[in-house]
Amino acid sequence: MHILDYFSISHTIFKVLGYEVSYIEFIGTVLGLISIWLASKANIYTWHTGIINQLAFFVIFYQVQLYSDMLLQVYFTYVCIYGWIYWKKESSDKKYTISYLKPNPRILICLIIAVSTFLLGNISIKLPTFFPGLFTRPPAYPFTDALISTMSILACFLMARKRIESWVLWILTDILSIFIYALKGVHFISAEYIVFLLMAIYGLVNWVKLFNNEDRADSGKVYAAA
């Protein structure tokens, strides 16, 4: 077997209820689950597993023509490195930074989601025209895919900054992703996002609990900007 076969979604490692799971899909899914679980516990190793997860998903999304999601993995990899550095610094400084956004940044995030979804969706539609050699088929569900990508970008950044709202965005993203990936036939990833959704709900509850339980004798409970 050629080494490149391991990166193909058509190369099966095993079957689940008749669905053929590829090597790359299995690796990406397992590491994704581990990464989200670690994030829900505010564990810095979420970023290490996240990097490998993003690389695997980049390869998968290229093969199923979800180009917005594919490009999103490049950003995720960067944020994983940023989050790793930021959380490590916070840990060494013995700071506890889980917090909420102020109301104005929340409004700004909603506007960014709307505008970015429109722009990214249109860019995705044009990719086969701009790069016909790379993108030989039109994108699937370009605006829904763009919405997922936009919310994921913001959720990942807010998570790196330890903002509780990141989990709200992840919950919305996971709900959309479950249906989109099922429609595209990558059912193992779709099933993974059901687990992601449950973990995101747990992460939200756990981070709120951590925030509420933390002693803030000198400053009280405060909101933080992004």
Does the structure show a pLDDT above 50 at 218? no
Out of 43-52, 69-78, 175-184, 217-226, which region has the weakest mean confidence (pLDDT)? 217-226
pLDDT of residue 217: 38
Q: How confident is the model at residue 7 (pLDDT cuts 50, 70, 90)?
A: low
pLDDT, tens only, 25-76 = 888 888 888 998 898 888 889 999 999 988 888 888 888 777 767 877 888 8
pLDDT of residue 106: 93
| Domain residue ranges of the chain, discontinuous segments joined by + | 3-213
Residues 6+ away with beta carbon under 8 Å from 138: 65, 125, 128
Global pTM?
Answer: 0.76
pLDDT, tens only, 82-125 = 888 888 877 665 555 788 998 899 999 999 999 999 998 898 88
- The overall longest dimension of the chain from CA atoms, in Å, is 62
In this structure, which amino acid lies at residue 79? V
pLDDT of residue 97: 76
Region 142-153 average pLDDT: 89
Does the structure show a pLDDT above 60 at 184? yes
pLDDT of residue 95: 56
- Cα–Cα distance measured from residue 45 to residue 74, given in angstroms and rounded to the nearest whole number: 19
Instruction: Give the residue, 4 or 63, on which the prediction is more confident.
Output: 63
Burial 113-137 (b: 16+ CB within 10 A, else e): beebbeebbebbeebbeeeeeebee
- Cα–Cα distance measured from residue 68 to residue 145, given in angstroms and rounded to the nearest whole number: 6
Does the structure show a pLDDT above 60 at 213? yes
pLDDT of residue 116: 92
Measured from the Cβ of residue 185, the count of other Cβ atoms closer than 10 Å reads: 11
